[in-house]
A and B are shown apart, each in its own frame.
Chain A
Amino acid sequence: MTDDDSAGLTFSPAIIDDPDAELVTRVAQGDQAACRELVQRHLKSTFSLARRMLGNDADAEDVAQETFLRAWRHAPRWEPGRARFETWLYRVTLNLCYDRLRRRREVTMEVMPEVTDPTPSVIEVHHRRDVATAVQGALAALPERQRAALVLCHYQGLTNIQAAEALTVSVEALESLLARGRRALKAALADSAGDLLGKL
């Protein structure tokens, strides 16, 4: 177990209404129907977050599995009312993504000393799928926390408060991460923005 597993313990001490609290209690008792319900509620969003952070299915699948493995192991020690279980899941997912991105950077630096252009084919794209590839490439080139903030708020639909909790920052800091992320994304896509928009 790592610090990720106790991530929820650092939330605000205020009692939080958590729609998953009862399910997590049942999971701790070995209730397989509760496990299934929890998976149905959260696996897709967990996988999507990891996929958008990491950019490929295989890594995102591993992260989603690892996140839920930690959830099963953590369930007996879960303290209802201290944090939303969903936010805890997002936080564990993000931390696992950060670990993988860090390892990936180390490998990339060993094998490929040159920094590659994250959006090499932006000029040539002609279809909607290619626009998505360009955006994914620009997103992947953002600093991790700016990318996480954008993914949580723009794609995962979290409120600013939930996203700030998942990132363990204040709402003001979240807004700063979002604004810097959007500016960097816009700059990365600036040259071809007109072309790309015309293809949507």
Chain B
Amino acid sequence: MMTEERFRILIEAYGAAPERWPEAERLAAARFAATDPSAHAILEEALQLDGLMGALPTPDMPLGLIDKVLESAAVETLAAAAVPKPVPAPEGFWRNLRALWPLAPRWAPMSVLAGATALGMVVGLNLQSIMSPEAGLYAANEQVAFRFPDDQDLANLP
């Protein structure tokens, strides 16, 4: 719904020519202009300035400007394109990693990967004693052999 207040703001900002009015309000403003008695005076005021502003011609582009700009394009873009791109392997690695867990932030699959690695190391180190109890026993004996004697050990001496 176009009000007189909004219509005045529009005309004071954009002038009297409908093609310069905001597209979203153009139709409503045009209806208001055609039907509301207050619209004529508001438009008349803006038309004078529009007429003066319209006297400013479109500037002519200087001769040779296009060539100068294209010369700079050849120098800059060809040089930039000749620079070798960074190795894409790490990006591929992160993309593959991210593909495993697309909705989580990047640190989430990294954390899982780090956790799995740590767990693997713990399990790997203890695997020997799990699979071979004797080996665990030997390891325990080695620890006993290399520890310092405590009070109980000394009390048991003959």
Contacts and interface: CB of A to CB of B under 8 A. Distances in A.
Contact of B14 (A27, A75, A155, A178): A178
Contacts of B13: 174-176, 178-179, 182
B125 interface: no
B51 A197 contact: yes
B78 A30 contact: yes
Interface residues on B, range: 35 or more
B55 interface: yes
Interface string B107-149: 0000000000000000000000000000000000000000000
A199 B9 CA distance: 29
Interface in A8-28: 27-28
Given A30-B78, A64-B69, A154 B53 contact: yes
Interface string A62-86: 0011001100110110000000000
Contacts of B80: 28, 30, 72-73, 75-76
A135 interface: yes
Contacts of A29: 81
A76 B79 CA distance: 11
Nearest to A150: B53
A28 B69 contact: no
B88 interface: no
B70 A193 contact: no
Contact of A72 (B46, B58, B72): B72
Interface in A28-71: 28-32, 35-36, 39, 43-44, 47-48, 51-52, 57, 60-61, 64-65, 68-69
A101 interface: no
B14 A36 contact: no
A150 B23 CA distance: 17
A122 B80 CA distance: 51
A179 B52 contact: no
Contacts of A153: 14, 20
A31 B30 CA distance: 46
Interface string B72-97: 11101110111000000000000000
Interface stretch (A89-97, A107-115, A183-191): A183-191
B61 A47 contact: yes
8 contacts: A29-B81, A44-B61, A60-B59, A65-B72, A68-B72, A135-B53, A175-B9, A186-B49
Interface of A: 27-32, 35-36, 39, 43-44, 47-48, 51-52, 57, 60-61, 64-65, 68-69, 72-73, 75-76, 128, 131-132, 134-136, 139, 150, 153-155, 159-160, 171, 174-176, 178-179, 182-183, 185-186, 189, 193, 196-197, 200
